[in-house]
């Protein structure tokens, strides 16, 4: 059996701050690596709590397709030779989803994990893990275990086949030491995750049969929301079955993976090729094309010049519910003739067409003899495949559709613009350029010191350092410049040193071009070693003069691609992905999100065609790096899409965004695609395993006010693969570690986010069909930070609603003080005296009261996903002047220059105030959501904690609890973590009303 060339390389760099285990304040550490039934051991470092190995090992990967399901385990032991024993010092487990190629790998220091509940470990282990296909690298062989110790590695090696052991050898590579100031944490990947193969329409295979979906009955949300703008319950036929008792009953088949949309039947006709076609003109040649007709619908292939055996291999899809004929006619015509007379045709009875359901293999095409109009056989044959299928058929996305292409041009360019597609957004990196200093600058004027700055450019992104008026020719900046770049790196980093000679006049002193592909990558905040680069003159230099010069101007830089951050390309309130850029830091998925885009109803006409209003609509959904676009339904105000898509979920505190647009590229026009509306759904508000079927109102704000553009019917299901992993996520920081270790300023984040959106829009605009810039910007809420009086008022009223409970308690306490209800006042006095006499009852009473409130609110929990709310958004009663200001250009064009400057400054400052007020309201709403069952898992954890805390505090003396709390609050900085605490992380993941903001 041939072994795969794929190998997993593991560089064991060193360990830090290990636990002493030999009784003399030290340890003799050895690392044991386990992967894919292979085990290797490093050398033993005697009496060293900070050992350094710099050893490399290479594992054979038996099945590369199963690499993401494997786990690398690294154990550190204290090897005591005199006692012939060893003790456990810690372990590190890395899941296969974090393995990256050698070019992307960096050295990471992982905190050691416990083996059991009672294990005591500390310290970190430095590893570099990567995959390689280099055939010259052989797999490693373990070092011999100390005498008397039967290591697990030796037993595994003995169990390997003899041929594998004979080929193996141990290799050592000395690695450069890395100075890490901070180390990236890596969580242990949980075992038992069911592998899921994701396709466009759903999950193809799982190891266990999923339970039948459940249809949830949901009703209108907030009572203040007008009925016309509320969520409405729908009862579609999902997966071809009837909804009975909250479940989908399929009378014809067992559970299907394509079960979140209504099944639509299509007649598929694949026209493959023809042979031996008769010549119809005097030249003896034929320019054939094929016309497929079913009733009033017909599709035409492109014509192929001068060929008797042409090949087309195109598929036509006719909606079965619109067909009004029982005969399919496939006509071969000749383009060279004046009237395009037919060469021959094939007639098929639709009642005899077979039905195909995936995962059946594609239907084999066959040759059909051509007939003339009288039904007599003539020369020539046509190869066809005809079958009845659904939108789950693999031929569906690239087929010509009768309900989409008939009213417009049926050319290949037009057909490309209406097909459904899946887009992959590029992986974004932050580029950090630290400009330290320059040396030996040569200004044009020798009698003055230069007033210099450094200008950096990547593509359309340009930024610069501050001007330095130096008294030497060696100016120093030590300034950070930040950019966003996307893989694959197409643009280079261009650094230019310029001298400010006079007002508005700059001279270039030198320039250097650095390809981003050679820039060092890092996944944490380790120190990047500086480098000197030579500056070149941008103009031609005399060769003789160049030979005389023995030096050139230089620039001192620190360059790196920061992969430890998540590059924000969307609003943090509606973020669909929170993973860092570096793939080796990615965790395994916690679940699968399935979206069924069913149909839209009552859409407003966006254009006029043949004297009547109509729309050519398509839907776009984005989550993580994956964007999807449904096919365009032409000339229809009640389009039916019935397409299903699937995403892997890595964090429940993320938002799915679905938008509806009018395709303005059809018929030769090139205008902007008009927005019809969008829907946001936070994953944490969805219950696991339930199917949500609702009609979402499509609301758009216009200068004249809010307007309902129609309704979009969706089916949504969130399936959890590991409940433990998902609950553990609630204790993790919301953003990657680097956002807390080296945070960006608000101004930097806004600037970088604007650059990231432009890059994503440019990359997706290069696809076919392109996802246009206005679509990407609308889906990413690119203008959410701009000033709006309406948003400011909405955030203020959200804040007032959060504190309304505090105000109500104050009013109630005022009533108690005023003895408006004597009985209540007496009871409050008794309770107050009891708590004063027994202060240990205060905290347990509060937690018990919160627990009871949470249980009481369970019956009032939200049974519907969040949606746009015009009351919360203050969109219904907005003043026309406020809306005119909101839709004004930035900068404004309604005032003279002086007023424009002041007005823009006011809007910018007010936008910051609006953001701060919104953040305060968000924190209060998260506090309310602790017991509101808005996020069922978080509320379940919260009420469980309240109950446990109430019980513990009832049996624990209050003085002890208060003392421990005080000591913990005043603990030494050594015992503090740089990352937020577990309660803070849990709190930040709670949902707020930001999802309901319009």
pLDDT tens per residue, range 610-660: 788 889 999 999 999 999 999 898 888 999 998 999 999 999 999 999 999
Task: Provide mean pLDDT across the span 126-144.
Answer: 79
Q: Tell me: the pLDDT tens digits for 383-412? A: 999 999 888 888 888 888 877 654 444 555
Task: Provide mean pLDDT across the span 128-157.
Answer: 61
Phi, psi of 4 (to 5 degrees): -75, 145
Is residue 757 scored above 60 in pLDDT? Answer: yes
- Name, in order, each residue with C-beta under 8 angstroms of 993's C-beta and a sequence gap of 6 or more: 798, 866, 869, 872, 921, 922, 925
Reduced to 3 states (helix: H, G, I; strand: E, B; else coil), residue 76 is strand
Q: How far is the C-alpha of 430 from the C-alpha of 382, rounded, in Å?
A: 56
Dihedral angle at the C-alpha atoms of 943, 946, 948, 952, nearest 10 degrees?
-170
Task: Provide mean pLDDT across the span 958-971.
Answer: 74
pLDDT interval class at 568 (50, 70, 90):
very high
The 3-state secondary structure of 950-964 reads HHHHHHCCHHHHHHH
Nearest CA to 239 out of 214, 215, 256, 216 is that of 256
Q: How far is the C-alpha of 770 from the C-alpha of 618, rounded, in Å?
A: 13
In eight-state DSSP terms, residue 436 is: E
Is residue 197 scored above 50 in pLDDT? Answer: no
Looking at the DSSP assignment, which residues form a beta bridge with residue 646? 594
Question: What pLDDT, on a 0 to 100 scale, did the predictor assign at position 475?
Answer: 87
Q: Is the preceding peptide bond at 747 cis, omega within 30 degrees of 0?
A: no
Q: How far is the C-alpha of 980 from the C-alpha of 795, rounded, in Å?
A: 26
Of 410 and 28, more confident = 28
Question: What pLDDT, on a 0 to 100 scale, did the predictor assign at position 281?
Answer: 61
CB 927 within 8 A of CB 801: no
pLDDT interval class at 665 (50, 70, 90):
confident
CB 278 within 8 A of CB 286: yes
- Name, in order, each residue with C-beta under 8 angstroms of 222's C-beta and a sequence gap of 6 or more: 230, 869, 871, 872
CB 266 within 8 A of CB 320: yes
CB 67 within 8 A of CB 61: yes
Measure Cα distances from 903 to 665, 789, 885 in Å. Answer: 37, 13, 11
Q: For the chain, what is the mean pLDDT?
A: 81
Q: Is 642 exposed, middle or buried (0-12, 13-18, 19+ CB in 10 A)?
A: buried
Question: What percentage of the chain exceeds 90 in pLDDT?
Answer: 32
Reduced to 3 states (helix: H, G, I; strand: E, B; else coil), residue 973 is helix
Phi, psi of 238 (to 5 degrees): -90, 135
> Exposed e or buried b for every residue in 122-131, given b needs 16+ CB within 10 A?
ebbbbbbbbb
Measure Cα distances from 165 to 41, 60, 138, 159, 814 in Å. Answer: 15, 11, 11, 10, 83
Question: What pLDDT, on a 0 to 100 scale, did the predictor assign at position 656?
Answer: 95
Of 570 and 908, more confident = 570
Question: What pLDDT, on a 0 to 100 scale, did the predictor assign at position 245?
Answer: 37
Question: What percentage of the chain exceeds 70 in pLDDT?
Answer: 84
Rg (CA), the chain: 34
Q: Tell me: the pLDDT tens digits for 819-854? A: 888 888 888 888 888 877 788 888 888 889 889 998
Could you tell me the pTM of the whole model? 0.76
Of 789 and 466, more confident = 466
In order, the DSSP letters of 779-809 are HTTTTTTS--HHHHHHHHHHHHHHTHHHHHH
Q: How far is the C-alpha of 720 from the C-alpha of 861, rounded, in Å?
A: 21
Q: How far is the C-alpha of 552 from the C-alpha of 881, rounded, in Å?
A: 61
Structure tokens at 106: 């960096």
């Amino acid at each position: 059996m041939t072994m795969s060339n794929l190998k997993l390389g593991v560089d064991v760099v060193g360990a830090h701050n290990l636990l002493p285990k030999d009784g003399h304040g030290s340890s003799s550490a050895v690392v044991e690596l386990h992967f894919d039934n292979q085990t290797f051991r490093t050398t033993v470092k005697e009496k060293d709590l900070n050992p350094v190995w710099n050893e490399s090992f290479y594992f054979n990967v038996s099945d590369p397709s199963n690499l993401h399901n494997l786990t690398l385990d690294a154990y550190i032991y204290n090897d005591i030779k005199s006692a012939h024993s060893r003790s456990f010092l810690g372990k590190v487990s890395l899941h296969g989803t974090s393995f990256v190629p050698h070019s992307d790998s960096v050295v990471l220091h992982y905190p050691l994990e416990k083996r059991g509940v009672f294990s005591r470990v500390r310290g970190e282990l430095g590893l570099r893990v990567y995959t390689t296909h280099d055939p010259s690298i052989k797999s490693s062989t373990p070092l011999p275990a100390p005498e008397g110790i039967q290591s697990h590695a030796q037993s595994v090696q003995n169990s390997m086949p003899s041929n594998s052991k004979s080929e193996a050898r141990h290799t050592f590579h000395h690695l450069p030491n890395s100075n890490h100031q901070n180390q990236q944490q890596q969580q242990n990947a949980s075992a038992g995750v069911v592998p899921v193969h994701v396709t466009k329409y759903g999950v193809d295979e799982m190891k266990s049969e999923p339970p039948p979906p459940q249809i949830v009955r949901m009703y209108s949300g907030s009572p203040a929301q007008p009925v016309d703008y509320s969520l409405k319950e729908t009862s579609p036929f999902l997966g071809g079955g009837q909804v009975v008792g909250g479940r989908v009953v399929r009378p014809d088949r067992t559970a299907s993976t394509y079960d979140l949309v209504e099944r639509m039947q299509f007649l598929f006709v694949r026209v493959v090729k023809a042979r031996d076609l008769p010549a119809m003109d005097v030249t003896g040649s034929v320019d054939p094309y094929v016309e497929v007709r079913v009733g009033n619908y017909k599709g035409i292939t492109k014509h192929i010049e001068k060929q008797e055996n042409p090949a087309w291999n195109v598929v036509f899809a006719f909606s079965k519910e619109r067909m009004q004929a029982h005969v399919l006619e496939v006509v071969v015509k000749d383009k060279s003739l004046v009237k395009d007379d037919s060469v021959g045709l094939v007639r098929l009875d639709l009642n005899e067409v077979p039905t195909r359901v995936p995962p059946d293999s594609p239907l084999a095409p066959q040759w059909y003899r051509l007939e003339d109009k009288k039904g007599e056989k003539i020369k020539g044959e046509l190869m066809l495949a005809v079958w009845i299928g659904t939108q789950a058929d693999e031929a569906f996305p690239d087929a010509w559709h009768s309900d989409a292409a008939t009213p417009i041009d049926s050319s290949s360019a037009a057909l490309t613009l209406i097909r459904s597609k899946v887009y992959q957004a590029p992986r974004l990196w932050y580029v950090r350029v630290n400009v330290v200093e320059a040396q030996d600058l040569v200004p044009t004027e020798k009698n003055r010191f230069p007033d210099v700055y450094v200008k950096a450019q990547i593509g359309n992104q340009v930024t610069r350092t501050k001007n330095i008026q130096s008294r030497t020719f060696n100016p120093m900046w030590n300034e950070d410049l930040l950019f966003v770049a996307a893989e694959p790196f197409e643009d280079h980093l261009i650094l230019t040193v310029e001298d400010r000679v006079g007002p508005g006049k700059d001279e270039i002193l030198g320039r250097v071009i650095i390809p981003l592909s050679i820039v060092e990558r890092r996944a944490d905040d380790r120190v990047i070693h500086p480098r000197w680069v030579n500056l070149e003159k941008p103009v031609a230099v005399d060769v003789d003069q160049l030979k005389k010069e023995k030096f050139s101007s230089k620039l001192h830089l620190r360059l790196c691609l920061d992969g430890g951050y998540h590059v924000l390309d969307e609003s943090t309130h509606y973020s669909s992905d929170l993973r860092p850029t570096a793939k080796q830091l990615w965790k395994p998925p916690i679940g699968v999100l399935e979206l069924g885009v069913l149909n839209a109803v009552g859409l407003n006409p966006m254009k006029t065609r043949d004297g009547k209003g109509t729309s050519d609509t398509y839907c776009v959904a984005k989550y993580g790096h994956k964007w999807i676009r449904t096919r365009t339904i032409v000339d229809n105000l009640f389009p039916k899409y019935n397409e299903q898509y699937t995403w892997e979920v890595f964090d429940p505190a993320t938002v799915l965004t679905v938008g509806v647009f009018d395709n303005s590229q059809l018929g030769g026009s090139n205008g902007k695609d008009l927005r019809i509306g969008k829907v946001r759904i936070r994953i944490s508000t969805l219950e696991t395993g339930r199917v949500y079927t609702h009609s979402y109102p499509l609301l758009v704000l216009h200068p004249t006010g809010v307007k309902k553009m129609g309704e979009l019917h969706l089916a949504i299901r969130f399936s959890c693969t590991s409940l433990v992993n998902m609950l553990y996520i609630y204790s993790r920081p919301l953003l990657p570690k680097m956002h807390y270790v080296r945070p960006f300023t608000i101004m930097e984040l806004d600037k970088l986010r604007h650059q990231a959106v432009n890059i994503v829009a440019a990359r997706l605009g290069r696809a076919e069909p392109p996802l246009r810039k206005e679509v990407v910007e609308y889906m990413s809420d690119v203008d959410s930070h701009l000033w709006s009086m309406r948003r400011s008022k909405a955030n203020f009223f959200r804040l007032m609603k959060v504190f309304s409970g505090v105000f109500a308690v104050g009013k109630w306490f005022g009533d108690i003080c005023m003895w408006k209800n004597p009985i209540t006042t007496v009871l409050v006095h008794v309770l107050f005296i009891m708590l004063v006499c027994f202060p240990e009852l205060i905290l347990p009473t509060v937690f018990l009261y919160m627990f009871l409130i949470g249980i009481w609110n369970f019956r009032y929990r939200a049974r519907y996903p969040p949606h746009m709310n015009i009351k919360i958004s203050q969109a219904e009663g907005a003043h026309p002047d406020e809306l005119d200001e909101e839709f004004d250009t930035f900068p404004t064009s309604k005032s003279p220059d002086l007023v424009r400057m002041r007005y823009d400054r006011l809007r910018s400052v007010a936008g910051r105030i609006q953001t701060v007020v919104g953040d305060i309201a968000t924190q209060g709403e998260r506090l309310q959501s602790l017991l509101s069952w808005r996020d069922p898992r978080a509320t379940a954890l919260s009420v469980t904690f309240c109950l446990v805390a109430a019980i513990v505090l009832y049996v624990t003396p209050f003085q002890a609890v208060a003392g421990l709390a005080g000591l913990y609050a005043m603990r030494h900085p050594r015992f503090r973590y740089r990352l937020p605490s577990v309660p803070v992380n849990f709190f930040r993941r709670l949902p707020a009303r930001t999802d309901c903001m319009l």
